[in-house]
Amino acid sequence: MPTIKDVAREAGVSIATVSYVLNKKDTFVSQETRRQVLEAIERIGYTPNITARNLKSSRTRLIGYAWHEVPNDQVNPVLDRFTYYLAQAAEAAGYHILTFTHPTDDPLPVYNDMIRTQRVDAFVLAGTVRDDARIRFLQEADFPFVSFGRSNPDWDFPWVDTDGRQGVREATEYLIGLGHRRIGMAAWPEESISGSFRLQGYFDALDAADVPFDPAYLVRGKHSEQAGRDALAYWCSLPRDEQPTAIVAITDLVAIGIMNEAERRGIVIGRDLSLIGYDDVPMSQYLRPALTTVQQPILEIGQALMRLLQMVLIQNSSAAEHALISPRLIIRDSTGALCR
Amino acid sequence: MPTIKDVAREAGVSIATVSYVLNKKDTFVSQETRRQVLEAIERIGYTPNITARNLKSSRTRLIGYAWHEVPNDQVNPVLDRFTYYLAQAAEAAGYHILTFTHPTDDPLPVYNDMIRTQRVDAFVLAGTVRDDARIRFLQEADFPFVSFGRSNPDWDFPWVDTDGRQGVREATEYLIGLGHRRIGMAAWPEESISGSFRLQGYFDALDAADVPFDPAYLVRGKHSEQAGRDALAYWCSLPRDEQPTAIVAITDLVAIGIMNEAERRGIVIGRDLSLIGYDDVPMSQYLRPALTTVQQPILEIGQALMRLLQMVLIQNSSAAEHALISPRLIIRDSTGALCR
DNA sequence: CTGTTAGCGCTTTCAC
DNA sequence: GTGAAAGCGCTAACAG
């Protein structure tokens, strides 16, 4: 592989000159010399070695992103598709994504190692939770990062997130608009941050429409298909005229559980019971009936993450920036007007 | 961040000595000196800078892997989950995965750039097709790579693949064992390489059981839900007693189309009609009924890819190694004994 | 305008 | 056993 020396020799100039025409676009290199160098580069097919550049500049133009292991019985809602857009946004900014893995229960040593070896310039975090150890660690280490997802409200760090509150509010309002008043909410446990935001959207919509909240309509469960089944089973145990006529599920996977349980009980989704999911996992459109859901704007999220990251990286502005991106309600066939 | 110089100063030795204790585990460094150096490293918290190492060794310990953009209406069968295992296998071998993207119709310039800048040591290819330009290009450039998926039979390059022929054979034999004789096959277009292998497994099973092949039972279509619907619609147009009693779908997505069309027509999958998919996408287990399918051994594939890659990288053995890994039939509820 | 030179942090001969 | 020094390929003062 040719080096800058080869170009210099070929063009009959010093390596410094070559470097000049390579970098300082407008430095004082004569037209003639520049042309010669460019021709030499072209002729021998030279491309600067990125490792050497990195060493010189103490940067790697690499952004670390940790994979989350997804249990086999679970569906990763958005992260897999997200990664593609993240990579694309990174490239547009002159970076690449370096992926790595770590034990779920002990991520810090791996992050630490990446920092100490100076493998990456920054991290993108995803799947953040309350009291997220990674956030605390990276802030402590004063190492650049941006998070996809919020964490403790009193922590000040740069993040991008979907506006789950807004998304679920829209979903719930849509159901109210269809005439529904008894609307069930299949939520996550209280610890979940994003779950809390989404739930808040449910309350927002109820409040705005003056629909009183009935605690019986709020069921909490895990991120699983079974949780959906359990929720519907519970609601079906209520007296007939107190059962929800519509349900908002915190995630498509839970919605699928509800659909499956509904089928088992002979309840027709979209007619007897309206259902809205959240995430728009790829399969949602092929469910029977196709699932009305809230779509996460993963393309925009990837772009926003890189935008914030560049602010952190370039301006070294420790001013924690945020971006809250509105999701989109995708109306399909699992929702219908209340028929009484 | 401390450098090797800092360690040397702290330990009162030369940087060479530090380097020795760091690398040559058993070089002739006195016990005492080694101890001193180790202590100094510990004390100031030193970790070698990987970029400097890379420059020195002309390696990056990075493996390039290109994302495939997945159209929004499509489900990426296995690639998203595969990537996690690939990253893990790479780490076990001391590598990291560098992800990148490229225009679907013009990948070569991006690959070329990664090579010329010496960004990565090797590539892992996925989603290979017949006459794959990337394979040709990388072989031409004599740049190390391993492919997940085969290509032209007369091309000699290192690949790892699922034994689709074996997988579909097992699936078909399972149906035959259940008493089915009229078995439909929803295949891909002839161009598809993996599709051809899988189809071959269908023929194998038929032959082995002396079930004559009926061309009416072979339908080809795209990788889409609609293709599945179309296939079933066609089969339903046959005379009642000539319709397949069981179907093998080339992929879960096509199987889902078949399920959806079956529902529309009041055909009960698992009772009136047995159905087997291929891939075991995460959602398959939650379909109604849960889909019997052929599971790709993505963990093993990731590991095999890294194993081959190390052979290519270390031994520079251009002897093209291959690994054909058997998939596993996952029996769920979409298949049942033929009841007449 | 262009060339000389000093590193970036590390590994590895080659002397001592 | 240990250290001096060259050099991986590049950038950026600093001279001239």
In tens, the pLDDT along A36-82 reads 999 999 999 999 999 999 999 999 999 999 988 777 777 776 777 88
- Does the C-beta of A34 come within 7 A of strand C? yes
- Does A32 share its domain with A141? no
Q: Do B67 and A51 touch (CB under 8 A)?
A: no
With b for 16 or more beta-carbon neighbours within 10 A and e for fewer, the A95-104 pattern comes to: bbbbbbbbee
Number of domains into which chain B is organized = 3
Residue B32 vs residue A232, higher pLDDT:
A232
> Which residue shows structure tokens 């010399």?
A33
Q: Do A91 and B73 touch (CB under 8 A)?
A: no
As a whole-number percent, the residues of chain B with pLDDT over 90 amount to: 87
Please, which positions of strand D sit below 7 A from a protein CB? 1-5, 7-13
Neighbouring-strand partners of residue B218:
B185
CB B282 within 8 A of CB B275: no
Q: Which of the residue ranges A74-88, A309-323, B79-93, B112-126 has the most confident prediction, judged by mean pLDDT?
A: B112-126
- What SS3 state is found at A112? helix
CATH, residue A22: 1.10.260.40
CB B77 within 8 A of CB B251: yes
Taking residue A138's Cβ as centre, other Cβ atoms within 10 Å add up to 22
Q: What is the pLDDT of residues B58-68, one digit of tens each?
A: 999 999 999 88
Does B39 map to a domain? yes
With b for 16 or more beta-carbon neighbours within 10 A and e for fewer, the A284-321 pattern comes to: bbbbbbbbbbbbbbbbbbbbbbbebbbbbbeeeeeeeb
Does A290 map to a domain? yes
- Does A70 share its domain with A140? yes
Does A337 map to a domain? no
Using the Cβ of A50 and the Cβ atoms of chain B, whether some distance falls under 8 Å is answered with yes
pTM for the model stands at 0.95
Residue A24 pLDDT level (bands cut at 50, 70, 90): confident
List of B residues 41-60 with CB within 7 A of strand C: 46, 48-49, 52-53, 55-57
Does B223 map to a domain? yes
| Dist CA B338 CA A120 (whole Å) | 58
| Dist CA B200 CA B217 (whole Å) | 14
| Dist CA B228 CA B188 (whole Å) | 11
| Dist CA A236 CA A234 (whole Å) | 5
pLDDT of amino acid A26: 67
- Does B144 share its domain with B224? no
Both tokens of B192, joined, read 């598809």
- Does B79 share its domain with B147? yes
Does A338 map to a domain? no
pLDDT of amino acid B320: 75
Nearest by CB to B260, from A118, A119, A286: name it. A286
Does A275 map to a domain? yes
pLDDT of amino acid B340: 60
Q: Do A60 and B51 touch (CB under 8 A)?
A: yes
- Does A172 share its domain with A86? no
Does A82 map to a domain? yes
The DSSP line for A224-260 is SHHHHHHHHHHHHTS-GGGS-SEEEESSHHHHHHHHH
User: Angle between the A133-141 and A108-116 helix axes, to the nearest 10 degrees?
Assistant: 20
pLDDT of amino acid A77: 67
Both tokens of A69, joined, read 């292991």
- Does A168 share its domain with A270? yes
Neighbouring-strand partners of residue B247:
B184, B275
- Does B92 share its domain with B116? yes
pLDDT of amino acid A339: 78
Phi-psi sector, B163: left (phi>0), alpha (psi -120 to 50), beta: beta
- Main-chain dihedrals φ then ψ at residue B183, nearest 5 degrees: -115, 120
Nearest by CB to B282, from A49, A75, A87: name it. A75
Q: Do B98 and A96 touch (CB under 8 A)?
A: yes
pLDDT of amino acid B317: 65
CB B249 within 8 A of CB B281: no
The residues, ordered by sequence, that sit 6+ positions from B8 with a Cβ below 8 Å of its Cβ are: B14, B15, B17, B18
What average pLDDT does the segment A177-191 reach?
A: 97
Q: DSSP strand E in A101-182: where?
A: 122-126, 145-148, 159-162
The DSSP output letter for A273 is B
| Dist CA A248 CA A199 (whole Å) | 10
Nearest by CB to A73, from B113, B118, B285: name it. B285
Nearest CA in chain B to A260: B288
CATH, residue A207: 3.40.50.2300
Residue B275 pLDDT level (bands cut at 50, 70, 90): very high
Q: Is the pLDDT of residue B319 over 80?
A: no
Per CB-CB distance under 8 Å, the chain A contacts of B84 are 67-70, 101
- Does A291 share its domain with A305? no
- Tell me the average pLDDT of chain A: 94
Q: Do B256 and A283 touch (CB under 8 A)?
A: yes
What average pLDDT does the segment B184-211 reach?
A: 97
Task: Please tell me the distance in Å from A272's CA to the nearest CA on chain B.
Answer: 18
Per CB-CB distance under 8 Å, the chain B contacts of A62 are 98
Nearest by CB to A117, from B47, B58, B70: name it. B47
Both tokens of B289, joined, read 């009924």
Q: Do A1 and B118 touch (CB under 8 A)?
A: yes
| Dist CA A109 CA B176 (whole Å) | 52
Tell me which residue of A136, A75, A126 sits closest to A305, measured CA to CA: A126
- Does the C-beta of A26 come within 7 A of strand D? no
- Does B195 share its domain with B214? yes
Nearest by CB to A117, from B50, B60, B116: name it. B50
- Does the C-beta of A271 come within 7 A of strand D? no
- Does B80 share its domain with B178? no
- Does B158 share its domain with B301? yes
Per CB-CB distance under 8 Å, the chain A contacts of B81 are 70, 80
pLDDT of amino acid B96: 98
Q: Can you give the residue range of the structural domain that contains B290? A: 164-296
Does A171 map to a domain? yes
- Does A90 share its domain with A32? no
Instruction: State, as a whole number of angstroms, the distance between the CA of A5 and the C1' of D16.
Output: 22
Per CB-CB distance under 8 Å, the chain A contacts of B263 are 288
Q: Which nucleotide is nearest to B37 (CA to C1')?
A: D2
- What SS3 state is found at A292? strand
